[in-house]
Chain A
């Protein structure tokens, strides 16, 4: 997957988790948490959804890598390159 595709997947997953999350105007470098009013329980859902879709195992120690949209893409790019 390309970086853009990965970004779209993340946005789609967030939209799916939060029925009225506004993902259009997200700042890629700011923490998602501050912009979306989500908590750690919601973040676990991003991890679980990636696991379900791509059999990707993300260890708990790596969760901070998913803090912002840009860091998500950086973290996932090598892991989803063959998808």
Chain B
């Protein structure tokens, strides 16, 4: 039987980062990935000769290479990757768009947002400045119990509209809870988005994944694709072997699971019955519509920003919609709109809306295809009201739904941000099993990678 110091389940960003960290210090490590390629939620596929990215709108936590203590640069040092050779493109400018013409723009320079708040909410600017100071000094990584960000922001800002406008992008890019958000998670996301900011790596997500994979392999790490894990053989409250769908068994000293806690509980369940996963199944899922448009159409629509986070619902509520999709709110992303990107013959417009997994799951195959078309059309109608009509100009369109996400990443209910309960410590009932990635608690691309690194440092390096 093959035997490893550590087996990592999942070759997404958290699994790759954990693997690099272990391989770097000479551990014998194996990543098991269900799919034929790496990346998980942040991966890519080909349609009509085009490479389409599944996750990346923007990476958060921008920092120039000189800021040594910034999370992005610490991450690169931990992975022994050169930050200087990693080329980035910063966002142009993004906007939070609410009813009554309320709009706040922000960029990677906090002063833009500060000026916008002063302009739109003159009575609240002092309170906003105090909030920024508080967040600047605040360490969100101390393990505190869940606290309502809304309640805290009511106290701090005393302005319902402003607090909702600030919450909206942070929720869309990193909140597993409906209606409200953990205050610590709010701070993590505020730092990542408003204080640090958005960027894209040069090239595409495949280049980034290839960089990580190449580095991992060069350090001696092994990865197996098309190797879905089925369950664990457990002896004395420890994972003894990891059993694949194929029946093959692999012995592991320690196991790190990045597939989410519901799926991890299934691996731990005895033959006799399914695991109790209800409390860990998140409800926030999304639909994503990728539109390819001809370059000359750029000037015909509002397309000079990087991302528009819009909400037209009153009252504002971040939640799973009752219908298949809520097109009244969403994210409009222009992945070509980052500094110093050469314009191509086409440009992309990606739109994300909250979506209901149960509704999508209930459709029969033909109905599913029809509903994808229908909702993409409704989306274009609504988004067109904000940026101008583009519906007839779409050269190519692809749609993925909560069920696509569940199918390709194993995330229960297609819940991108995973369980509403986070396992911040990363420990499980089994002494040698740890969780990293989405259900440990750090979200997004940089977050997932930091989670992989942190869990290895904490549970493997410091213990051994």
Give A residues with C-beta under 8 Å from B: 17-19, 37-39, 41-42, 44-45, 47-49, 51-52, 57, 60
Contacts and interface: CB of A to CB of B under 8 A. Distances in A.
Contact of A19 (B84, B457, B461): B84
The residue in B68, B78, B464 that gathers the most chain A C-beta atoms within 10 A of its C-beta is B68
B226 interface: no
B46 interface: no
A60 B462 contact: yes
Interface SS of A by simple majority: helix
A18 B78 CA distance: 10
Nearest to A21: B68
A42 B462 CA distance: 13
B461 A44 contact: yes
Contacts, number: 32
Nearest to A38: B68
A48 B25 contact: yes
Interface string B340-375: 000000000000000000000000000000000000
Interface in B177-198: none
Interface in B75-120: 77-78, 82-84
Given A37-B68, A44-B461, A18 B25 contact: no
Contact of B74 (A39, A51, A52): A39
Interface residues of B, number: 15
B412 to A, nearest CB: 31
B69 interface: yes
B457 A51 contact: no
Nearest to A42: B77
Given A19-B84, A44-B462, A49-B25, 15 more contacts: A17-B77, A19-B83, A37-B68, A39-B69, A41-B453, A41-B457, A42-B77, A44-B457, A44-B461, A45-B77, A47-B461, A51-B25, A52-B25, A57-B464, A60-B462
Nearest to A40: B457
Interface SS of B by simple majority: loop
B26 interface: yes
Interface of B: 25-26, 68-69, 74, 77-78, 82-84, 453, 457, 461-462, 464
Contacts of A57: 464
Given A48-B25, A48-B461, A41 B74 contact: yes
Contacts of B78: 41, 45
Contacts of A18: 68, 77
Nearest to A49: B25
A19 B26 contact: no
B25 A19 contact: no
A57 B25 CA distance: 13
B72 to A, nearest CB: 13
Contacts of B69: 37, 39
For the complex of A and B, list the 9 residue pairs with the smallest distance between their C-beta atoms, beginning with the closest: A48-B25, A52-B26, A52-B25, A37-B68, A60-B462, A44-B457, A48-B461, A41-B78, A41-B74
Nearest to B83: A19
A72 B6 CA distance: 30
Contacts of A60: 462
Contacts of A45: 77-78
Contacts of B461: 44, 47-48
